[in-house]
Amino acid sequence: MPKDEEINCASFGSLKSNLFVFSLLSSRILFIAVVLLTLLYFFPNPQNRKINPIIINNPKIIAIIFITFILETTKEVFSVFGSNVLDMTVPIKILLVVKDFNLPFERLDTWVTEAIKVSDSTKQLLNKNNLSISRSRVKNLIENQHLKVDGNTVNNPSFKIQNCEIVEIQLPKLSEAIPLPENIKLNILYEDEFIIVINKNSGIVVHPAPGSPNGTLVNALLYHCGENLKGIGGVRRPGIVHRLDKNTSGVMVIAKTELAHSNLSKIFFNHDLDRRYNAVVWGQPINLGIIEKPIGRSPLNRKKMAVVDKGKIAITKWKVLDIFTPFASLIECKLETGRTHQIRVHMSYLGHGIIGDDLYGKPISQKNFKNSHLKEKNKLIKSFNRQALHASKLCFHHPISDKYLEFSSPLPRDISVLIEQLKV
């Protein structure tokens, strides 16, 4: 562990940068003051048009100039030290003295990650700046030549730290996200400086992708949050910790700072939250149940997920809320894990695919209905143009304050209309 009396090298690196900026600003102000004093000194007296140092006879002018200088200097001090330290406009430097850490001499990225974890001063600095450095982030910094060992730049994450003395990490300024901000309306349920919770509409993709380069949730968040995004992994972007499919609506939480993103990721990884969905499924499942079947990539169609023996463990609980004989049921699903397409895959596996799901849904065949009215109704239901799946509830502890938060969203209009049609 680092010694308590050691100087916080990380904050010292940032402090030096701020002092440099401050000295430049002060020099600029001093130069302006000297110019003004010189002009006033040689300003001609309008009464006799002779060169007369009137400033000597006007102490009020001297006082005004110096008061202005002091106020401007104070403003610049607050500007530099009040904002730059906390928003990464000035890069932060972290110095780690190898002998101060009782850690095994492993590869560089592993050693640095563990050293940061046990360095109280470094963690305090990162927390102040709403930053969190993972091993993948450290690896990226090394590969992009932002890390030095004993003064020499190292770009190999597997470099051995043995027989070294000082590791220097330079956290660069935030780079702008590649997706462009777009003015897309968001339904915001909650927002503070660390997170934003939204009610996502169906039809919007979360991340830009080859088929959807713009018009995504990320584009909308970049526009809405702007400078309030403090950077994830060194890039000014929103921190997506979970996703909803394009045609799934409902509650989502997004991180605005790196520390919030890291803590939210841990919450989702450890399943320390409550996620519930409403779905309209074909047929009538039993009133209450749980399915625990592993999910992985389908061996028959690589674009689909499926229940496979070598997949990742996936657990879904459900209960029936309403039955619309003989077509469908409204159910509530509670996720114990968060696999890709989990509810859609599990309900399809049980024989109760989600209405409108072209990928996994299994509609009831028209042959099952002899009544023309039921046939027409079945045809109408099959024309529902997206999976009838809605993220209705999300509860978790705030990633910074630890306050318990609970958010819910009512069924959107299209699913409500579908249910009314099923009831007729």
Residue stretches of the chain with pLDDT short of 70? 1-91, 129-132, 173-178, 210-211, 230-236, 365-370
257 and 192 fall within a common domain? yes
Q: What is the CATH number of the domain that holds 323?
A: 3.30.2350.10
Q: Among 119, 137, 172, identify where a domain stops.
A: 172
50 in any annotated domain: yes
Distance CA 192, CA 197 (A): 9
Q: What is the DSSP string of 28-97?
A: HHHHHHHHHHHHHHTPBPTTT-SB--GGGG-HHHHHHHHHHHHHHHHHHHHHIIIIIHHHSSS-EEEEEE
Backbone angles phi, psi at 90, to 5 degrees: -110, 130
Distance CA 231, CA 254 (A): 13
Q: Which structural domain range is residue 119 located in? A: 1-172
Q: Among 172, 201, 223, identify where a domain stops.
A: 172
pLDDT at residue 67, as a whole number: 67
Considering the chain, what percentage of its residues have pLDDT values greater than 90? 38
99 and 207 fall within a common domain? no
Backbone angles phi, psi at 253, to 5 degrees: -115, 140
**Enzyme catalytic residues:** 245
pLDDT at residue 189, as a whole number: 97
182 in any annotated domain: no
Three-state DSSP string of 85-137 = HHHCCCCEEEEEEHHHCCCCCCEHHHHHHHHHHHCHHHHHHHHHCCCCCCHHH
132 and 202 fall within a common domain? no
293 and 412 fall within a common domain? yes
The alpha carbon of 382 is separated from its chain's Cα centroid by a whole number of angstroms, namely: 37
Q: Torsion angle, CA of 110/113/117/118, rounded to 10 degrees? A: 60
Q: What is the CATH number of the domain that holds 42?
A: 3.10.290.10
203 and 97 fall within a common domain? no
330 in any annotated domain: yes
- Give the chain's domain count: 2
Q: Among 141, 172, 203, identify where a domain stops.
A: 172
31 and 152 fall within a common domain? yes
